Amino acid sequence: MTGHVTGQTQENKRLRSVVKGVGSALPRRCVTNRELEKEVETSDEWIVQRTGITQRYIAGEGETTSTLGAAAARAALAKANLAPEDIDLIICATSTPDYTFPSVATMIQAELGVTGGVAFDLQAVCAGFVFAVATADKFLTSGSHKRALVIGAETFSRIMDWSDRTTCVLFGDGAGALVLEAQEGTGANADRGVLTSHLRSDGRHRAKLYVDGGPSTTGTAGHLRMEGKEVFRFAVGHVTDVMTDSFAATGLTADDLDWFVPHQANQRIIDASAQKLHIAPHKVVKTVQSHGNTSAASIPLALAVACEDGRIKPGDLVMIEAIGGGFAWGAALIRW
Ligand code: UT7
């Protein structure tokens, strides 16, 4: 055990943000690589080999970030056996809001019929969901709020340049949500809830992954631009920092993990990150093959799949981790 362990040996009563339910929503239309081949100069073989992606979901008429987010939130509330009025905090992580304002979170709040508490969006691109979990945890463990809906919702298909084959084959749309509830814990690692979270950002890398428009510059939504190789290199090189920090803060190790649920951008990034930290392959949850990269929605979508199929169970130790535009990156350890 290392010298900077917190909470493992001492029993300090403290609030924990405990997972009560998880839900997700996908657009109606699923687009396979084979279908994309007809529109884009690409091949199923190239996409699978370089990324692991075989299909993605693309939002159609009437489907937006807020409609997908609201559907995911409803599903999470149903799993938690809670009603909209039980929620006093809604954080929606998104980079593809329905409108510049109001926030998607307030649109979801209205859609669900939540009239109390606070709702706001958080933008940290692909790391958005980890940032939102960390933020909600700080609200809940301070005692200021009781139950949070933490949502990751995106429609990246709407900011794709469909003539750019280096990006348009990678992304998809969808939403996922967690209900977190403040509960008293003992302060030990055996507590259920968020045990620790670690966030980082470094704005010097803006040009490697960005959108070339916005309300204050072009007055348009713009299109996603990416230097894929550079992002790949940075992701594999740096994202393990925040995971190592999470282990150091708790005294837990990769062997203690039951599940590793990383951002789903590329199978090769996922495998390389897991390998670097000696996380056994059977503990890695991968959904990139069926969802593509759904940015802030990718982790809650993967969590929903792994809870639904019975892999993640109460008491399991789960590591979530993501990196994306900014760059911004983060990790959190959650006892389910
Ligand atoms: O969520 C966080 C943000 N995003 C990411 O994490 C993505 C990070 N980057 C990646 O996942 C990978 O870098 C990519 C999947 C984007 C690209 O893989 P790569 O192995 O780095 O390929 P590359 O960019 O070096 O391209 C290799 C070749 C090029 O051809 P030449 O120059 O070698 O002749 C590309 O023109 O593949 C070509 N290419 C394609 N071919 C068929 C690029 N896109 C495509 C395509 N279909 N869609």
CA distance 276 to 68: 34
pLDDT digits (tens, 9 = 90+) for 214-247: 999 999 999 999 999 999 999 998 889 999 999 9
Residue where a domain stops, chosen among 152, 185, 218: 185
Q: What is residue 182's predicted lDDT score, i.e. its pLDDT?
A: 98
CATH code assigned at 320: 3.40.47.10
Q: Both 246 and 308 in a single domain?
A: yes
Q: Give the residue whose CA is nearest to atom 42 of ligand 1.
A: 42
Q: Are residues 209 and 118 in the same domain?
A: no
Q: What's the gap between Cα 117 and its chain centre?
A: 23
Domain C-terminal end among 155, 185, 215? 185
Q: What distance in Å separates the CA atoms of residue 259 and residue 279, rounded to the nearest whole number?
A: 9
Question: Are 278 and 142 found together in one domain?
Answer: no
- Mark the ranges of the chain whose per-residue pLDDT is less than 50: 1-9
Assess whether 256 and 170 both reside in one domain.
Answer: no
Ligand 1 centre distance from Cα of residue 208 (Å): 13
Q: Which residues pair with 320 in a beta bridge?
A: 261, 332
Same domain, 27 and 56: yes
Asked whether residue 67 falls in the same domain as residue 86, the answer is yes
Q: What is the pTM of this model?
A: 0.96
> Does the active-site annotation cover 293?
yes
Question: Which residues form the domain of 316?
Answer: 191-335
Q: Is residue 22 part of a domain?
A: yes
Active site residue 282: no
Q: Is residue 324 part of a domain?
A: yes
> What span, in angstroms and rounded, lies between the C-alpha atoms of 85 and 115?
7
Q: What pLDDT is recorded for position 4?
A: 44
Q: Is residue 165 part of a domain?
A: yes
**3-state secondary structure at position 119:** strand
Check whether residue 201 and residue 147 sit in a common domain.
no
Q: Given CA atoms 198, 204, 206, 207 in this order, what sign does their dihedral have? A: negative
Residues 233 and 218 in one domain: yes
The residue contributing the CA closest to ligand 1 atom 45 is 166
Task: Tell whether 4 is covered by a domain.
Answer: no
Question: How far is ligand 1, taken at its centre, from the CA of residue 166, in Å?
Answer: 6
Domains: count for the chain: 2
Ligand 1 pocket, 313 CB below 6 A?
Answer: no
The type of residue at 298 is: S
- The CA–CA distances, whole Å, from 136 to 54, 195, 288, 313 equal 33, 13, 26, 22
Whole-number pLDDT of residue 10:
52
Do both 171 and 235 map to the same domain? no
**Is there an atom of ligand 1 within 6 Å of 124 CB?**
no
Q: Answer yes or no: is the C-beta of 265 below 6 A from any ligand 1 atom.
A: yes
Annotated active-site residue in 223, 263, 266, 291: 263
Q: What is the residue with the minimal CA distance to atom 35 of ligand 1?
A: 166
> Does a structural domain hold residue 5?
no
Rounded CA-CA distance 135/17 in Å is 11
Q: Considering Cα of 324, then 148, then 159, then 220, what sign does the dihedral take?
A: negative
Alpha-helix residue ranges (DSSP H) falling in the chain: 33-39, 44-51, 65-80, 104-112, 128-142, 165-168, 228-250, 267-276, 288-291, 298-308
Would you say residue 6 lies in a domain?
no
Q: How far is the CA of 232 from the centre of ligand 1 (A)?
A: 10
Q: In this predicted model, what pLDDT tens digit does every residue of 15-40 receive, in sequence order?
A: 999 999 999 999 999 999 999 999 99
**pLDDT at residue 11, as a whole number:** 58
Of the candidates 78, 64, 146, 145, the one whose C-alpha atom is nearest the C-alpha of residue 112 is 78
How far from 240 is each of 165, 247, 250, 273, CA to CA, in Å? 29, 11, 16, 7
Residues 164, 215: one domain?
Answer: no
244 exposure class (CB count in 10 Å sphere: 0-12, 13-18, 19+): middle
Is residue 126 annotated as part of the catalytic site, yes or no?
yes
Give 136's DSSP letter: H
Domain end: 131, 151, 185, which one?
Answer: 185
Residue 269 CB less than 6 A away from ligand 1: yes
Q: For helices 228-250 and 267-276, what crossing angle results, to 10°?
A: 40
Looking at the fold, whether 71 and 143 belong to one and the same domain comes out as yes
Whether 1 is in a domain gets the answer no
